[in-house]
Amino acid sequence: MRLEIVQEALKKKNISFQYTEEDGCGSLDFMFRGLGFHVWEYYDSIWGAETNIYEAGRSQDIEGDYEQEIAREILSWPDMIS
């Protein structure tokens, strides 16, 4: 299981997601306020993730402590009504 910190952030915000794993890299796809978001992990001599959490229509790569950075952004979003 990969992207566990990001998965915990999504669970805390009550956001449903789909998790898959391929070639040892995790992938998360989810909806928030009607928009589709993703976090796709990769390894290319350094671990990172491609995501569109900052702008739904534009992806960017985050490397280094990417899980913490992505989780922090998701936790800053407004709470979903249960």
- Tracing tokens 């899980």 back to the chain, one arrives at 67
pLDDT of residue 17: 98
What's the whole-model pTM score? 0.93
Neighbours of 10 (CB within 10 A): 23
- pLDDT tens digits, one per residue of 4-47: 999 999 999 999 999 999 999 999 999 999 999 999 999 999 99
**In the chain, domain spans:** 4-75
Core vs surface per residue 18-54: b (16+ CB within 10 A) or e: ebeeeeebbbbebebeeeebbbbbbeeeeebbebbbe
pLDDT of residue 82: 59
